[in-house]
Structure 1
Amino acid sequence: MQNTDSVMDRLEKLVSRLEQFECRVTASAVATDIHASTGAPVGSGSDIVTAYDEILSRQVEHVVDTAKAVSDAVLEVSEALKRAFVEERRIVYAMAHCKKPSDNEMQALLAPVAREIDAVQAKASGRRTKEEMHLKLAAEAMGALSWVCCPPGAGAGAPPRHVEEAQQGALFYGNKILMEHRRTGPEHVAWVKAVQELFDALKAYAKEFHKSGPSWNAGGVPLAELGEAPAPPAAPPAAKAPAGRAPAAGAPDAVPAKPPAAKAPAAGPPDAAPAKPPAAKAPVLELRDRRRWVVENHDGDGGLVVEAGDPKQSVYVYGCRGCTLQVRGKVNAITVDKCERTGVVFESAVASCEAVNCRAVQLQVTGHCGTFAVDKCDGLRLFLSRESTGADIVTAKSSEVIIVAPGATDEDDMVEQPVPEQFVSRLEGGRLVTAPASHSAA
């Protein structure tokens, strides 16, 4: 009897093991079928794509919808913002399916996004129009899209922090729009709030899925083997609006009207050769004569690092666009010249930190720097450490310079203060006295 029971126990265990094996084989076959049909690696982070698609279908569409009631110029930059988000979806899709690409591959991925950002930046820096603040808000906010370049070693919260910094820069212009149109232009207020909600959603997305850096799939395929990203799912159809009226702005199911097809360029002379674009200069990052670090001509590189080993060394940054540079160690001086959408973070500078001929740049000191000089810059944010709050800040021929300093205690939020751009001068006792202009609220 005991032998019979023993045999039965062994048979039951054998059947159980066979059932488990069958389940594993079935699951493997199903996963293989999915991989074959979609091209996605098994276990890919599809959630990061689905969550991004939610932002595209809701917040991005809402920005475009609200822009229609403002003006053609605001609608144009809003559609450029949408195109940039759609192009960035290709990068998010690659993150879910691919290993981290090389720097050259990453630059190629970023190129379409950068083109849209550059186009809006060019409009924002062009001739003054009644939508000037709207264009500058969009240009500043779109800098948040470079969160995908944050290096893994940038510290916890780097992507959401990057989005928040760009959002805060855009808020400077948003507040100006709200002050001007709060009572007379509700459509302007709605658009500003829609942009704010969009980047709130992007910040929350980055915090949930990319808190410590862009989340590439370590077990994924090389980028070169990835097929074309599928189009994002279509937004739910909107209820048909009455003739001559668009769906109500802000409706979650509203679908923006299809933009008009681009007109074909006029045909030129048959023998005219297309103009050749200027040759791109080679990027440089090197120490010259053991005294001067030179960082030049980088585009879209979020991981530039200078390892300074001597406080007598200086750093010269020239012609960089969409980059982030970290200077480690104490240096003598730092100069940032003719850069756009570039951030420089440094520990300490013995003499000074200077920015000249720059647009939409950020400087941050984590240690001590006694003097900052800003000359011919448009849109500069200077983040001071508590150790550097007593620094001299000299500005000339510059606009939209914002100083961000620590609060009264370490627990308090950072405090933003714009550098005055308008001044009032008067003769007092034969002496010319100049003071910042003050504007009293109406």
Structure 2
Amino acid sequence: MTEECTVPFVLAYDDLLSGPFKTFFDCSMKIGGDVAAIAKMVQSTFINQRAFLVMASKSQRPLDTELPQVLEPTGKKIQEVIAFRESKRQSPFFNHLSAISESIPGLSWVAVAPAPAPFVKEMGDSAVFYTNRVLKEYREKDKIHVEWVQNWNNVFKELQEYVKRYHTTGLSWNTRGGNAMANLKAAPANCGVPPPPPAGSIPPPPPMVKLEPKAVAVDDGRSALFESINKGTDITSGLKKVTDDMKTHKNPSLREGPKPFVKQSSPPNRASPARDGPTGRPKFALEGKKWFIEYQNDKPDLIVKDARMDQSVYIFRCQNTVVQVKGKVNSVILDSCKKSSVVFDNLVSSAEVVNCQSCQVQVMGVMPTISIEKTDGCQVYLSKGSLSTEIVTAKSTEMNVLIPKDDGEFVECPIPEQFKTVINGLSLTTTCSEKAG
């Protein structure tokens, strides 16, 4: 039986379990074999996380010294899934197992701060290499496997949206709750997936909770909101008096329409991760199969040595930093960095640059794909072995690709930023409206 809980972020997780995850699970059961076996293990891992979230809703955040103990059950479940894949290398469904094994560490988002949602996305994207193999093998043979890939991708897409909405800067704990370890031990050992509500039924609203007018928690302003609502008719006592200069009928300037748009020569200063610089604790560590390089400032000589092709590199919130990756890795992600560079030998899957400013990417060997999104200023240095690289861009400016010549020099080619779209019957035709190269 599932432990009943009316906390919004637990109810939303129940929706994830009974919706996207159930669709994936049912599809896995249809395929059967090792796919069904690992799906049952993944189901157990998700249910374990559900119990963990219930515990968090009743507990204060544990001390840093206690946190590893609290997270231990989650880590064990993840390792069980990874170990199953390693034991099934001769399985005809090895690509299916590998896709799950690459993604499942994403459930350790509960230990990630301050940006767990990008972490979930990165873990979900780690499966692309193997899901593409599944699609290539079964696209023309059996559509159920194509649906399976779509369903698994959708689980992580919905998980990312869930984390982004309810745990934006890290797992939500209860500032008035009890001890995390005590509550974790008291949690049910086996809670099942909640069934979906009957068709046409409306779930009852959660019981009203009266909040005491105590000090507002740092991470939650709802106490102040309920306190003001409980004032009744006195709620208007704190409103500001509208003076004559605020009234449109006494101040003609307020009736003026918006000013014409004037294009600025340079983008205005915006508060964004890429521009604020490192503010968290510096990190350079290999966790499972992921290298995490975070909050590094003015480090021109960071080196990832002896990297393997089943590993990926995630570079987050670094500034004035250069990272060298020695060896062949699955993927490289540069996220929310400023004036930083990454140089690597070979990639199995892709490189990604997102939310960055004035960054550089250089490949010495082979890079199948690079994606640039929401970035201002990006230089991509290709090697002779990467002239077939596919470049995907969105919402980005000042992008250049540098192509090597025989004499070792580079030719700089700008990536178009402006496009022209015309109506062609009931469809649209889009072309570049500027010369590139």
Task: Give the SS at the match of 2:296.
Answer: strand
1:228 aligns with 2:186: yes
Other-structure match for 2:301:
333
Q: Closer, same or farther in 2 for the Cα pair 1:202/1:359, shift >3 Å? A: same
Question: Which residues in structure 2 correspond to 1:195-234 (within 5 Å)?
Answer: 195-226=152-183, 227-230=185-188, 231-232=190-191
2:35 counterpart of 1:77: no
Partner SS for 1:69: helix
Question: C-alpha distance in 1, partners of 2:175/2:85?
Answer: 39
Shift of 1:221: 0.8
Provide the residue aligned with 2:343 in structure 1: 372
Number of residue equivalences = 293
Provide the C-alpha distance between the structure 2 equivalents of 1:203 and 1:318, rounded to a whole number of angstroms.
22
* Residue type of the alignment partner of 1:343: Y
How many Å separate the matches in 1 of 2:333 and 2:322? 19
Residues 15-414 of structure 1: pairs in structure 2 closer than 5 A: 46-122=7-83, 124=85, 127=89, 129-151=91-113, 154=114, 158-226=115-183, 227-230=185-188, 231-232=190-191, 235-236=194-195, 305-306=281-282, 317=285, 324-337=292-305, 343-345=314-316, 347-348=318-319, 352-356=323-327, 362=333, 364=335, 366-370=337-341, 372-374=343-345, 383=353, 385=356, 387-389=358-360, 391-395=361-365, 403-406=370-373
RMSD of Structure 2 on Structure 1 (CA): 4.2
Q: Distance in 1 between matches of 2:287 and 2:132?
A: 31
Aligned AA (1:166): M
Alpha-carbon distance change, 351 to 360 in structure 1, aligned in 2, over 3 angstroms: closer
Residues 60, 177 of structure 2: 8 Å contact kept:
yes
What is the CA–CA distance in structure 2 between the aligned matches of 1:323 and 1:218, rounded to whole Å? 32
Alpha-carbon separation, structure 2, partners of 1:364 and 1:236:
38
How far 1:85 moved relative to its partner?
A: 0.8
Instruction: Report the TM-score when normalising by structure 2.
Output: 0.55
- 2:157 alignment partner, SS class: helix
Provide the rounded CA distance (Å) in 2 between the counterparts of 1:66 and 1:73. Answer: 13
More deviation, 100-109/85-94: 100-109
Q: Report how far residue 317 of structure 1 moved.
A: 4.4
For structure 1, list consecutive stretches of 5 or more residues without a partner in the other structure. Answer: 1-38, 239-250, 252-302, 308-315, 412-418, 424-442
> Cα–Cα, structure 1 residues 201 and 232, in superposed 2: closer, same or farther, change >3 Å?
farther
* AA matched with 1:72: G
Counterpart code for 1:169: S
Q: Alignment partner of 1:353: what SS?
A: strand
Alignment CA distance shift 1:122-1:234 (3 Å): closer
The CA distance in 1 between the partners of 2:345 and 2:16, in whole Å, is: 37
Q: Secondary structure of 1:336's partner?
A: strand
**C-alpha contact (below 8 Å) 1:88/1:110 kept by paired residues:** no
SS at match of 1:305: coil
Counterparts of 1:319 and 1:338, CA distance in 2: 15
CA distance in 2, matches of 1:224, 1:235: 25
* TM-superposition CA deviations, 1:50-107 (whole Å, max 9, x none): 2222322343333222112224121122122112112212321122011111234332
User: For residues 348 and 321 of structure 1, what CA distance do their matches in structure 2 show?
Assistant: 24
Distance 1:346 1:401 in 2: 25
- Structure with greater Cα Rg: 1
Corresponding letter in the other structure for 1:82 = Q
Summarize deviations over 1:369-427 as a string: whole Å, max 9, x none.
Answer: 4551247x8777554745234x321248xxx97643237x769xxxxxxx97x99xxxx
Shift in alpha-carbon separation, 1:359–1:182, aligned structure 2, 3 A: closer
Q: Distance in 1 between matches of 2:14 and 2:42?
A: 15
Rate the CA distance shift 1:129–1:304 in 2: closer, same or farther, 3 A: farther
| Whole-Å separation in 1 of the counterparts to 2:146 and 2:336 | 35
Are residues 164 and 320 of structure 1, via their aligned partners in 2, closer, same or farther at CA, if it must alter by over 3 Å? closer
SS at match of 2:127: helix
